[in-house]
Amino acid sequence: MTGLHRKDRNMIIDTHAHYDDGQFDADRDELLSRMQEAGIGLIVNAGSTTDSWNRIRELTERYPFVYGAIGVHPDETGALDEEQFSRMGQMLDMEKIVAVGEIGLDYYWDKENHDMQKKWFIRQLELARSKEMPVIIHSREAAADTMDIMREHAAGMRAVIHCYSYSAEMAREYVKMGYYIGIGGVVTFKNARKLKEVVQEIPLDSIVLETDCPYLAPEPYRGKRNSSLYLPRVAEKIAELKGVSVEEVTAQTERNARDLYGLAG
Ligand code: NI
């Protein structure tokens, strides 16, 4: 039975989704039941609010191909306290929870509470280190502070800079630090010149695919509700930008995602 563990085809891994979001309430089951057939092999559902954690655990229990991350998004850190933080530590020990996230800094929406964001970003990084878990980083209009904190508190850790929105130069810096760069629907947008340059400049073995669904649907679905079913559009765009086959993009990003989250394959 040598074929028992052989993989018949490459699968797409969505390294960042939010199926716990209310936008999926009406058809979550129906939608997720179509994933495997469409070649979406694994999905990692990222945590955003403290309220999202139980919903994420339920999703990982219900669907064999859904894994979870537990964390608090920078905009939501106002809801964090020591009690929630210790609850977070317990939930990270559960089966199928593979990362801490999403965590980071967001100065676009939140112009005031930078110190609070930094404090909880660092606390969550340290929690991930203590549990030897990878981290999912959200960073928006906070390039310098994020880089400083990653250098100081996340050296040697596994990490993905999710929904990457900064320069190619900074992406190369993150790649040098051993981190992955999360690429999603934005790369298909006409005006995403900077992100296209990022994809061309960094090696394919540093890229992971992600949706951030229900947000950021790729062309031609821009503005609509996103789902992992649209990820092939992102893989195709990356293949085009790098001048390689879609199969190569799918195979390499699958390996990258498995390495990032420690998923056997
Ligand atoms: Ni997200």
Question: Could you tell me the pLDDT band of residue 112, with boundaries at 50, 70 and 90?
Answer: confident
Whole-angstrom distance, CA of residue 205 vs CA of residue 219:
24
DSSP β-bridge partners for residue 17: 45, 213
| Amino acid at site 131 | K
Residues 104 and 142 sit within 8 Å (Cβ to Cβ): yes
Q: Compute the distance from residue 212 Cα to the ligand 1 centre, in Å.
A: 5
CA neighbor of 159 nearest in space, from 117, 99, 231, 109: 99
Distance of CA 175 to CAs 48, 97, 160, 263, Å?
25, 25, 10, 21
Neighbours of ion ligand 1 (CB under 5 A): 212
Q: Distance, CA 84 to ligand 1 centroid (Å)?
A: 20
Cβ atoms < 10 Å from Cβ of 246 = 15
Average pLDDT over residues 239-251: 97
> How far away, in angstroms, is 2 Cα from ligand 1 center?
39
**Distance between Cα 249 and ligand 1 center (Å):** 22
Report CA(138)–ligand 1 centroid distance (Å): 7
What's the pLDDT band for 8 if we cut at 50, 70, 90? low
Compute the distance from residue 155 Cα to the ligand 1 centre, in Å: 23
What is the average pLDDT value for the chain, to the nearest integer? 95
pLDDT in tens, 159-175: 999 999 999 999 999 99
Q: What is the pLDDT of residue 1?
A: 40
Distance from Cα 9 to the centre of ligand 1, integer Å: 28
5 Cα–ligand 1 center, Å: 32
Strands, sheet with 97-106, edge to edge from the N-terminal-most edge strand:
12-17, 40-45, 66-70, 97-106, 135-140, 159-162, 180-183, 207-209
- Ligand 1 centroid vs 71 CA: distance in angstroms? 11
According to DSSP, the β-strands at 180-183 and 66-70 are: unpaired
Is 241 in contact with 200 (CB distance < 8 Å)? yes
- 57 pLDDT above the threshold of 90: yes
What would the pLDDT profile of 190-236 be if each residue is shown by its tens digit? Answer: 999 999 999 999 999 999 999 999 999 999 999 999 999 999 999 99
Cβ-defined contacts of 150-154 (< 8 Å, 24+): 150/174, 150/177, 150/179, 151/177, 153/122, 153/125, 153/126, 153/129, 154/125, 154/129
> Is a pLDDT exceeding 80 seen at residue 184?
yes
Examine the pLDDT at 110 and tell me if it is beyond 80.
no
The pLDDT, as a whole number, for residue 5 is 46
